[in-house]
Amino acid sequence: MTRPVVALISALALACGLLAACSDGVELSEPDPLATSLANGRWVDLTHTLSEDAVFWPTAPEYSHEEAAFGMTEGGYFYSSYNLHLSEHGGTHLDAPIHFAEGRQTADEVPLSSLIGPAAVLDVSQQANADRDYLVTVADIEAWEAAHGELADGTILLIRTGFDRYWPDRQGYLGTVLRGEEGVAGLNFPGIAEEAAHFLVEYRDLAAVGIDTASLDNGPSKDFQAHRILLGANVPGFENVANLGELPAIGAMVIALPTKVAGGSGAPLRIVANIPAARGK
């Protein structure tokens, strides 16, 4: 586990203690700065709600949430329970490295150091607004670094295309409402260029890469090079991320916890970010 992740987990524990102590009227001297930042910062939910309206890949089974029990029992108490049926790769979710790379990490093997860390938000929403199939380039990354500094080791890179504004409208979000292979043929949304994926794994040491579209690769992709390159280097992907427009380019901390599916190629993901009060957006 990397030092930034250990520090963040420790700070989260301290922040919880800080909040509890404050609520009990206990005075604390010189609290940990990171714990204070987390306690006073603003939390942003980067997760789309799973529902029957949630966007899934055109060839994936539709989501269902079936009632198993709901109501008063013979014992006089209320009880409800449901059965979930869903693809690993629908809604906001994790792409584990094994999704496109044999022998790489499965969903339960992805370490916390790949799921918790500092965020860098690369905004290509203007380019994506002009070109639905826009591919993030090395030049985009270099321009971001010229403004904010080189991407630090252990960074979670979040790519903002602005396409989350279409969710859950499939026509707007995916470029098609068709299902099956016909739907796959009609996909139109932004993604990451092959050269940019190579740059990120060869010259940077990222914890993970997330994007607010349905795929790391753009809609028309047939060879899924971004997936193959990033996941092949054990860099997991977060797809269908929401609300990246609420985050600053640097300064936020991300916690992205997937369901720990044994042997899974992916899993539903709850991803949140904390923005220090001093930084704002």
Q: Active-site residue numbers?
A: 99
**How many residues are given for the chain?**
281
Question: How many CA atoms lie within 13 Å of 51's alpha carbon, on the beta-carbon side?
Answer: 7
Q: What is the band of 8 on the pLDDT scale with cuts at 50, 70, 90?
A: low
Q: Which of 17-21, 73-77, 260-264 has the lowest mean pLDDT?
A: 17-21
Average pLDDT over residues 137-153: 98
The rounded mean pLDDT for the chain is 92
Which phi-psi region, left, alpha or beta, contains residue 258 (left: φ > 0; alpha: ψ -120 to 50)?
Answer: beta
Q: Are 152 and 118 in contact (CB under 8 A)?
A: yes
Q: What is the band of 33 on the pLDDT scale with cuts at 50, 70, 90?
A: confident
| CA 91 – CA 65 distance, rounded (Å) | 14
3-state secondary structure (DSSP) of residue 258: strand
Q: What is the pLDDT of residues 114-135, one digit of tens each?
A: 999 999 999 999 999 999 999 9
| CA 51 – CA 86 distance, rounded (Å) | 10
User: Could you tell me the two tokens for 86?
Assistant: 């869903």
| CA 216 – CA 207 distance, rounded (Å) | 15
Q: What is the band of 31 on the pLDDT scale with cuts at 50, 70, 90?
A: confident
CATH 3.50.30.50 for domain 43-61+88-275? yes
pLDDT confidence of residue 32: 73
